[in-house]
Structure 1
Amino acid sequence: MARVGAPTPRIEDIDAWLAGITQPSALAELAALLVCVGLAWGLVWLVRRASGLPNERSIWFGRQIIDGVMFPMVLLALAYLSFMLLARWLPVAVFKIAIPVLVALAVIRLGVKVLQVVFVNAPFVRSLERSISWLAWVAMVLWVSGLLPLVLEELDDIRWKVGGATLSVRTMIEGALTAGIVLLLALWISAAIESRLLRSATGGQLSLRKAASNAVRALLVFVGLLVALSAVGIDLTALSVLGGAIGVGIGFGLQKLAASYVSGFVMLAERSVRIGDNVRVDDFEGRITDINARYTVVRSLGGREAIIPNEMFISNRIENLSLADPRILQSTVVSVGYDSDVELVMSLLAEAALSQDRVLRDPAPGVNLTNFGADGLEFTLNYWMTDPENGQQNLRSRINLVILQLLRGHGIEIPYPQRVIHTRVQASHAGQDGLEGKRP
């Protein structure tokens, strides 16, 4: 005989549930639950294969099939559908535990994946993940045991009055949960939009899309905060006057911070500085690896990273080594003896530069006789490169080694520094000075 009314996955009578868990029908529920697991795994595998191999930061899939958000969501939907069907003909016991557990798993997985994608390698993410897990499991236990309504009633009785509004512990907790869910969804949507926009963007297009993703994230978080304040019970119209006064004070106190935020959007919009450019800022040279709303990360060839406020890129003089042309000129100076064959030396220096694949052929390396030095003839070898992020000193070192090998192979002298020292001594006869000697 079919039951009337929608069943609820909650244990209302512990003795009846214990009796139901020992019935043969529990085996049918376990079999149905295993079928749901297999179907969920298969459906997620098909969707994953149809959409291509997702990256490691995918919220829906993650690195594997079961560690994303889609698998627990699909499993929860299939399990609840099976629960609704079996509850019409069988005394359900297993699903009254399985459904709340799957709900908790889905909530935990959603919160963890969104936080991992939005805040990459942030130290506080682990604490937030642990807090979400404990909260989800405690709520699940209270829901299954039927104690949740009683706990909420007790919390609702703890009230206090703030101005014209009356608040309670239950209202504060529900508002905090609502705020957390709204902010989590806002971060999820912004992360999905950012991943979509930056998937195949490069160069200037990457900067524009990064600016759009930052603006969307700021807007969504702002809207989420407004919704969270409304959920707590705070009247937003009452904050208009106070918000204006606070805004003026914050505006004067945080001028540098505001300037950095505005400068970040200006940089990304006008594309004067782009991700991947090689720049020199305040005697620090490196490659831009990321442009955030407030600061820009510049990584030097030695591995050091500088966090530079965006205001410096707008108000100070910045050298962009790859704005219009990614080529960079390098040079090395070589001295040879005065009796050397000048034409042979120049050809050997050009040959040494062209021996390296990273040296551009167009424009070709140039060799110039730049100085008649005290010890020999000084030649300057100039050559161009386009990949300074792979190192500059290592390329100059390889070229210098080839130059040394070629000059020695052709018997061309690299002179040592020569100095002549004159010494004046006092003569032995009174009133007579003389030059005793010269020492090379």
Structure 2
Amino acid sequence: MTEFQTLLTQIQVFLANLLLPSRLYQIAIAIALFAVAQMINMFIAPRLHAWMRNLEDRPKWQLRWLVVLHRRLYLIIFVLLIWTVITFMREVLNTFPSRTFLLSIIGTIAVAWLAIAMIARLIRNRFMRRLATWGGWAYVTLYYLGFIEATSDLLDNVAIEFGDFRLSAFGILKALVVTGLLFFFARLISTQSKSQIEKNQDISPSMRVLMVKFLQIVLYGAAFFIGLKAVGFDLTGLAVLSGAIGVGLGFGLQKVVSNLVSGVIILLDKSIKPGDVISLGETFGWINSLGARYVSVVTRDGREYLIPNEDLITNQVVNWSHSNDFVRLDIFFGVAYGDDPHKVRALAIEAASAVGRILTTKPPVCHIVGFGDSSVDYILRFWITDPTAGLTNVRGAVYLALWDKFKENDISIPFPQREVRMLPDEMEKPPKPLD
């Protein structure tokens, strides 16, 4: 309780000093300046917002920072006003430093609050951003008011002890701050490195993903352990924890570990990579991203399947663009027996070649594959290099081109026909008597 009494005494002395006449008028000036800042903000903010809405062709980062400045406009105006008044009182009126002491503290805290609010915008997570902002505001306020040492002693006195182990509220707070800063810088370095790696076209897509994942694991792991070590945590105790984790992996996390290992194997052997077109069972689509546990596959109808990495290792996967982008498609059709098969083959090849996505470097071919009950059956084969654009649509385009070409040249496409004949003699016979 000694630390609490010390902090309480400091607060009482600070409040008593505020009641001095030289401090009361400084408080009145600060309140008046804040009110003026609010009025100026009410006048400028709507006009600034209207100007921002009319901006076009500006980078997103500029628009984001304009929004941040718009939200903190009242604080910016207050900082400018209070330091203008302090400078005027000191330089023009030659006021004693004690007459502007409290104003200087308020102005310094306002500048620190503004800087913290701006820097915190770099944190994307909304909850973490608010936590960092309010925590930073509380720290700088206590620091400039002179309460930081007494508060630290009070928090350090609130602790849990088990033998030689001591866990205080101040230690927890310190660990959170240090680890948070390390994670922030780790994320910043990871983001910048990721953008540079993804721009390097000399590295294969799968290796880019592997390098980014490895870099993230190293950076975040280092941030975590350095943060624990910085606050005095004994890392030797993690040996017992790692053993427990190993037992848990052996019993309950087999699938998770299998997917993680399968993901590493996929990245190393380059069997699939982002942008490849694959078929797995009834799922056909292109690889959107490779994750540590699953692969994201987007189909033509817009559905996104999250396929576990283990399935891609243990099951048969058709990679339409593994070694190259060439994909051969086959379609079947039949024509009447009365049409010249040589002419039909030439017309089919001509029709397929006219479709835009069909390769001319690998020209289409057409062959007879059988004599059916009512038609001569053909197969038409052609090549494309853009399976991500769809397979059904290109087949449909070729069928439509065949229809138009056959119609122009009087080539008929037969279909099964059946005739039912009623024999009159059979109808006139009387039914047989029943026994």
| Shared fold (TM-score, shorter chain, > 0.5) | yes
Q: 1:166 aligns to what? A: 166
Deviation at 1:140, TM superposition (A): 4.4
Distance 2:393 2:245 in 1: 54
1:325 Cα offset (Å): 2.4
Tell me by how many angstroms 1:249 deviates. Answer: 3.0
Query: 1:377 and 1:55 mapped to 2: Cα distance?
Result: 62
The answer as to whether partners of 1:201 and 1:209 remain within 8 angstroms in 2 is: no
Q: Which moved more, 1:292-301 or 1:247-256?
A: 247-256
SS at match of 1:416: coil
TM-score under structure 2 normalisation?
0.73
Deviation at 1:21, TM superposition (A): 9.3
Match of 1:230 in 2: 229
251-260 or 131-140, which moves further after superposition?
131-140
- 2:261 aligns with 262
1:218 Cα offset (Å): 0.6
User: In structure 2, how many angstroms separate the alpha carbons of the residues matched to 1:268 and 1:168?
Assistant: 44
**C-alpha contact 1:108 1:136 (8 A) present in aligned 2:** no
The answer to whether structure 1 residue 109 and structure 2 residue 110 are counterparts is no
Match of 1:35 in 2: none
- Cα offset for 1:176? 1.4
Q: Is the 8 A contact 2:368 2:379 kept in 1?
A: yes
- Between Structure 1 and Structure 2, the one with more helix by share is 2
Q: Secondary structure at the match of 1:166?
A: strand
- Rounded to whole Å, the distance in 1 between the matches of 2:134 and 2:353 is 64
Could you tell which deviates more after superposition, 216-225 or 235-244? Answer: 235-244
Instruction: Find the aligned partners of 2:271 and 2:58 in 1 and give their Cα distance.
Output: 33
Q: How far is 1:238 from its partner?
A: 2.6
Gaps of 5+ in 1: 1-10, 31-52, 113-124, 433-440
Query: Measured at CA, do residues 154 and 369 of structure 1 come closer, stay the same or move farther in structure 2, by a change above 3 Å?
Result: same
Structure 1 residues 156 and 401 mapped into 2: Cα distance closer, same or farther (>3 Å)? Answer: same
- Any idea what the Cα deviations from partners look like across 1:350-369, whole Å, max 9, x if unmatched? 12211122111121011112
Give the greater-gyration-radius structure (CA).
2
Aligned to 2:187: 187
Aligned to 2:197: 197
Q: Give the corresponding residue for 1:363.
A: 362
CA spacing shift, 1:274–1:100, aligned 2, 3 Å: same
Which stretch of the first structure deviates more once superposed, 282-291 or 132-141? Answer: 132-141
Report the Cα offset of residue 288 of structure 1: 1.0
* Residues 101-145 of structure 1, C-alpha deviations (whole Å, 9 max, x = no match): 233124312323xxxxxxxxxxxx333334334433444444454
Q: 1:201: how far off? A: 3.0
8 Å CA contact retained: 1:104, 1:140: no
Q: Is the 8 A contact 2:249 2:257 kept in 1?
A: no
- Residues 230 and 413 of structure 1, relative CA distance in 2, 3 Å threshold: same
CA separation in 1, counterparts of 2:153 and 2:119?
24
Q: 1 CA distance for matches of 2:324 and 2:166?
A: 65
Distance 1:97 1:218 in 2: 38
Partner of 1:110: helix, strand, or coil? coil
**Conserved 8 A contact 1:107-1:136:** no
Q: Distance in 2 between matches of 1:245 and 1:349?
A: 68
After the TM superposition, which residues 32-431 of structure 1 pair with which residues of structure 2 at under 5 Å, given as runs?
93=104, 95-112=107-124, 125-201=125-201, 205-421=204-420, 428=429
Distance 2:139 2:110 in 1: 14
Shift in Å, 1:152 = 2.9
Please state whether the residue corresponding to 2:406 is helix, strand or coil.
helix
Number of equivalenced pairs: 368
**What is the SS of the residue equivalent to 1:198?**
helix
Instruction: Describe the superposition over 1:351-394 as per-residue Cα deviations: whole angstroms up to 9, x where unpaired.
Output: 22111221111210111122222222222211111111111111
The one-letter code matched in structure 2 to 1:160 is I
Cα distance in 2, alignment partners of residues 101 and 372 from structure 1:
85
How far apart are 1:178 and its partner, in Å? 1.4
Confirm or deny: 8 A CA contact 2:109 2:141 kept in the other structure: no
Partner Cα distance (1:17, 1:403) in 2:
93
What CA deviation, in whole Å up to 9, does each residue of 1:66-108 have, x standing for no partner? 689xxx9xx9xxx9xx99xx89978673741443123312431
Unaligned runs of 5+ in 2: 1-13, 38-56, 92-96
- Residue 163 of structure 1 aligns to which amino acid in structure 2? G
In the alignment, which residue of structure 2 is the partner of 1:37?
Answer: none
Separation (CA, whole Å) in 2 of partners of 1:399 and 1:368: 16
SS at match of 2:131: helix
Go from structure 1 to structure 2 and tell me whether the alpha carbon gap of 1:64 and 1:131 turns closer, same or farther (over 3 Å shift).
closer
Residue 406 of structure 1: how far off its partner (Å)? 1.8
- Asked if 1:19 corresponds to 2:20, the answer is no
Alpha-carbon distance in 2 for matches of 1:395, 1:408: 20
Percent identical residues: 27
SS in 2 for 1:302: coil
Residue in 2 aligned with 1:48? Answer: none
Amino acid at match of 2:167: L
- What secondary structure, in the 3-state scheme, does the structure 1 residue paired with 2:199 have? coil
Please state whether the residue corresponding to 2:204 is helix, strand or coil.
helix
C-alpha RMSD of the superposition:
3.7
Provide, for residues 199-229 of structure 1, a one-character-per-residue CA deviation record: whole Å limited to 9, x for no partner.
Answer: 2337x61211221111111111111221232
Q: TM-score, normalised by structure 1?
A: 0.72
Which amino acid in structure 2 is aligned with residue 428 of structure 1?
K
Residues 320, 387 of structure 2: 8 Å contact kept: no
Partner letter of residue 112 of structure 2?
P
1:411 deviation in Å? Answer: 2.0
What SS is found at the alignment partner of 1:369? Answer: strand
CA change 1:181–1:428 in 2 (3 A) is: same
CA distance in 2, matches of 1:139, 1:292: 39
Tell me: CA distance 1:375–1:21, structure 2 relative to 1, closer, same or farther (3 Å). farther
